[in-house]
Structure 1
Amino acid sequence: MDPTDFLQNGTVSVSDDTYAVCRTDHNHPGAFATIQDETETTVVVEQDDVNTVDASEIESGWKRLTFEMDLPFELVGFLAAVASALAEVDVSVFVISTYSTDHVFVKEDELDAAVLRLEDLGCNVTD
């Protein structure tokens, strides 16, 4: 399977919300996502809620791009193709994958460049 085939006519939605990525010591009940490993907990919250998080570090100003497509587990290189394409236009990413969906976060001031690049790859980007 070619990962770029999934980008052709694939829908990518852009969140209305802006997010903050926070390093913390505990979960946050209103978080969009909580990622916890052996050494730290990261929560992603709507930027308006960042003051409710007891965080040691906060990186604000992220927009969420959600790939609204069913991606099989055996598909190799999908996120690599997306990240590489965005890197070509100097857009850095923060990625969260769930069981069936990939979310790519880009800085708000890099959103236009990211959208144009994804459209160049054949994606239908929607608000």
Structure 2
Amino acid sequence: MNRLTIDVRPGDYALAKLPPGSPLPSLSTSDGLVSVTSTPDEVSVVSLTDIAPAGAKVDQGWRLLTVRGPLEFTLTGIMASLAGSLAAAGVPLYAMSTFDTDHILVKATDLDRAVVALREAGHEVHA
């Protein structure tokens, strides 16, 4: 796996869950990442904590780390490298990808350990 450059993004993030079939929330993306995923079982939302959808089940206290991209779709092992490094350090994560790159969220209380683990794995992390 090549060395990845990873940026720790500002802000506190939340993971939110809405009931299945809920209308997709319209959230401002100007200040950070927003991801809305709908399945037959739930609607999941990742956003800055202060704009998490009202009425959702919310888990707060997450920090966002983003791999600098864009990444080619032919690249393999990126998420495995990140997840493996964090798993070895005992750091749980929430993983997601966008068209251009990969993102991971870790609990704010685990951020320092995550940064150390990723650096020890040979990645460049800008905190």
- TM band (smaller chain): 0.7 to 0.9
1:41-79 superposed Cα distances (whole Å, 9 cap, x missing partner): 1011211223x4221x21111100000033221222221
Q: Give aligned-pair identity as a percent.
A: 30
Q: Which has the higher helix share?
A: 1
Q: What is the total number of aligned residue pairs between the two structures?
A: 119
Separation in 2, partners of 1:103, 1:97: 6
Separation in 2, partners of 1:84, 1:124: 16
Equivalent residue, structure 2, for 1:54: 55
Task: Report if the CA contact (8 A) 1:28-1:53 is conserved.
Answer: no
Local SS of the residue matching 1:109: helix
- For structure 2, list consecutive stretches of 5 or more residues without a partner in the other structure: 29-33
Q: Which has the higher strand share?
A: 1
TM-score with structure 1 length normalisation? 0.85
RMSD value, Cα = 1.5
Equivalent residue, structure 2, for 1:36: 38
1:68-116 superposed Cα distances (whole Å, 9 cap, x missing partner): 0332212222211210110001101101101111010000000000000
Separation in 1, partners of 2:104, 2:6: 10
Matches within 5 A, 1:92-103: 92-103=92-103
Q: Give, as a single letter, the amino acid of the residue that structure 2 aligns with 1:20.
A: A
Local SS of the residue matching 1:112: helix
TM-score with structure 2 length normalisation? 0.85
